[in-house]
């Protein structure tokens, strides 16, 4: 996971144990195309980059089970300090459009140990202008079901 703000990266790593990386990132419009560039700064893989160019089409995607499954995420799970945490989030349904992949050079996937993945044609290309997401306070998902948040349970024996 890459982010352009060092504070966000450090916060995600320290608070939640998430493997965020600090990267130089840019999004820009090139006529009808949208270009995304990422260059890793820290940690590891310094200088490894990715460049993706897509052309959004005017066709909105509705009732697509796979697209819904991939974008309807309502929280994240992580393991931190020996505990399993769930961080709930809220956001509107992602407005998705079909898109054409115009260019892909993704060294980041190869650097993760998955060479060749980016060399194949994608099964699906979708684009979205994005949604605003809010995150709630993390929940210790290891506590007993039905216990109210914030209570500490103690086991005897």
Q: For residue range 36-68, what is the model confidence (pLDDT) as tens digits?
A: 999 999 998 899 999 999 999 999 999 899 999
Residues 114-126: pLDDT tens digits?
999 889 999 999 9
Q: Is 11 helix (H, G, I), strand (E, B) or coil?
A: helix
Choice between 57 and 141, residue whose per-residue pLDDT is larger = 57
**pLDDT given for residue 149 in this prediction:** 52
Residue with tokens 């995150």: 135
pLDDT at position 81 is 84
Q: Are 102 and 54 in contact (CB under 8 A)?
A: yes
Residue 156, pLDDT > 70, answer no
Strands 126-127 and 33-42: unpaired
On the question of pLDDT at 80 being above 90, the answer is no
pLDDT at 74: 87
- What's the mean per-residue pLDDT of the chain? 88
- Nearest Cα to Cα of residue 111 among 20, 49, 30: 49
């Amino acid at each position: 996971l890459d982010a352009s703000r060092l504070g966000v990266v450090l916060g995600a790593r320290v608070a939640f144990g998430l493997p965020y990386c600090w990267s130089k990132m840019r999004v820009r419009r090139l006529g009808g195309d949208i270009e995304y560039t990422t260059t890793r700064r820290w940690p590891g893989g310094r200088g490894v980059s990715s460049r993706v160019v897509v052309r959004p089409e005017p066709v909105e995607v509705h009732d697509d089970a796979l697209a819904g499954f991939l974008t309807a995420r309502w929280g994240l799970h992580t393991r931190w300090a020996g505990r399993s945490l769930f961080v709930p989030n809220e956001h509107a349904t992602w407005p998705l459009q079909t898109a054409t992949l115009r260019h892909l050079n993704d060294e980041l996937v190869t650097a993760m140990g998955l060479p060749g993945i980016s060399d194949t044609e994608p099964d699906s290309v979708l684009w979205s202008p994005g949604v605003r997401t809010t995150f709630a306070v993390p929940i210790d998902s290891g506590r007993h079901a039905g216990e109210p948040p914030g209570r500490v349970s103690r086991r005897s024996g």
